[in-house]
Chain A
């Protein structure tokens, strides 16, 4: 039963990682950029919800929607201010810019809110409920269902909307997309807005389950990065699969290893895939990082 319980924990973790991984893979798909500040976008989302729900005393659900809006706006701003000016530079410049944005956001939040850990004040420690023999809290149930709902929304956005179709076109061939009248910069801005909104939602869910701190986005973003490598970089189904793979592997792994190795499991998987299967499970061989 312990193993099954660990699997449930893995699904909860995977749901959180997936919300970050989808944005990471979308942004990579369109710009060939690993957005290392994506975890900080999630963190800013979590703090936005903190302001609404703790500072202003409104329900957390209101904070959740404010976080989504704040995430989208932050995504647009990060793209416009940080990434767009270096768009035509070498790919490493974009990567360094992402790290700079990450440090900037961490310190900006630390400046306003301090480095101490904060919580959403969801009341006394939640007592888990038993579902099919597993112990799961109501917050965790909400996390899984919210994440799945947002994944379905992503599918609808990408497959069914005009802008979603344009995102795929720009990711496929940006020059060709422009030659048929698609404003690729607008599409890139929309991709940042959508991916960052998802990350912010993920940040609120992570904070609801654990707590808030300026560095809270770092580790989930690395896990999300491992997830998109496992699933195949640039692939949305791959990002979701990879997220659950990493979540399950690190949670089931501690059945066999001391729990201190939990994070190391994700890194180990990341290194193994980078060495032996860099295109991941759903990735295409011909896709690579453009120089």
Chain B
């Protein structure tokens, strides 16, 4: 079953091409590695899926349903979760509140169980702003877990993270893969890409230049 499909997605900012006729399909339960230099369009591609930017042309399908006309919050409610490069937590809310606000009526003990899985239980009453970069990233993973997202978009989740937290993040990604989640991962480390991904797409100036 195809989880996510992009057909001819193009996006320009001013006169600059960010994405040029990008198309791909990803099967449910698979992990796609998205690679390319800075400014190659990787984050814009994720933003086009979640409608944080509206593509100029093209179509996005999630489990066979066209979603590119929907507003961002409705796309998220379909089960598409994100982990951002920066600013992915509600800084003025506590760690526990960050999960509760994302959960659809889930109880506190369920959120606490997930915090334990991402090694943040002892921080549950602390403001998210007080966490380190790596811990904030783990909290974001907790959020996609509490939401039980089916498609998870990871934008450089290892960037600026300590070795210890990188190991934790990698083990969380593997757990999500075991649970059958579909993942798109932006990552620069080629060894890690090979370890974690079934498919690879390389972007350059908004165009796909390599598929593996």
Tell whether A and B belong to one assembly. yes
A179 touches B76 (CB 8 A): yes
Chain B hits for A172, CB < 8 A: 90-93
Q: Mark B54-97, 1 if CB is under 8 A from A, else 0.
A: 00000000000000000111101100011010011111110001
- The distance in angstroms between the C-alpha atoms of A114 and B100, with both chains bound, is 50
Q: Which of A162, A165, A168, A181 contacts B73 (CB 8 A)?
A: A181
Q: How far is the CB of A177 from chain B (nearest CB, A)?
A: 8
Chain A residues within 8 Å of B93, by CB: 165, 168-169, 172
What's the tally of chain B residues with a CB closer than 8 Å to chain A?
Answer: 26
Chain B 132-151 interface mask (CB, 8 Å, partner A; 1/0): 00000000000100010000
B52 adjacent to chain A (CB < 8 Å): yes
Q: Is A92 an interface residue (CB 8 A)?
A: no
CB distance from A117 to the nearest CB of B (A): 43
Most A CB contacts (10 A, CB to CB) among B87, B89, B92 go to B92
Chain A proximity of B211: nearest CB distance (Å): 27
In the complex, how many angstroms separate the beta carbon of B130 from the nearest chain A beta carbon?
13
Given the interface pairs A172-B92, A178-B76, the reply to whether A165 lies near B97 with Cβ below 8 Å is yes
CB distance from A242 to the nearest CB of B (A): 19
Q: Are the CB atoms of B73 and A184 closer together than 8 Å?
A: yes
> Are A178 and B73 CB-contacts (below 8 A) given A168-B93, A172-B93?
yes
Known interface pairs A168-B92, A180-B101, A184-B73; A175-B143 also in contact (CB < 8 Å): no
Give the chain B neighbours of A177 by CB distance below 8 A: 73, 90, 101
* A53: interface (CB < 8 Å): no
Interface string of B32-47 (1 = CB under 8 A from A): 0000000000000000
Which residues between 157 and 189 of chain A lie within 8 Å of chain B, taking CB atoms? 162, 165-166, 168-169, 171-173, 175-184
Cα distance, A169 to B143, chains bound together (Å): 13
Least Cβ–Cβ distance between A202 and chain B, in angstroms: 26
The contact string, 1 if C-beta is below 8 Å from chain A, for chain B 160-200, is 00000000000000000000000000000000000000000
Could you say which residues of chain A place their CB within 8 Å of the CB of B81?
179-180
Residues of B within 8 A of A181 (CB): 73-74, 76-77, 102, 104, 147
Residue numbers in B under 8 Å from A176 (CB-CB): 84, 87-90
Query: What CA separation (Å) do A162 and B101 show in the bound complex?
Result: 7
B31 close to A (CB within 8 Å): no
Whole-angstrom CA separation of A176 from B76 in the bound complex = 10
> Would A169 and B101 count as touching, CB distance under 8 A?
yes
CA distance A183 to B74 in the complex (A): 8
- The reply to whether the CB of B50 lies closer than 8 angstroms to some CB of chain A is yes
Contact between A165 and B101, CB atoms less than 8 A apart: yes
- Chain A positions within 8 Å of B76 at CB level: 178-181
Chain A residues within an 8 Å CB radius of B105? 162
Contact of B147 among A162, A178, A180, A184 (CB under 8 A): A180
Per the bound structure, the CA–CA distance linking A168 and B104 in Å amounts to 16
B99 to chain A, nearest CB (A): 10
- Chain B contacts to A: CB under 8 angstroms: 50, 52, 71-74, 76-77, 81-82, 84, 87-93, 97, 100-102, 104-105, 143, 147
Known: A165-B101, A180-B147, A184-B73. 7 other contacts (CB 8 A): A162-B105, A165-B100, A171-B92, A172-B90, A179-B81, A181-B77, A182-B101
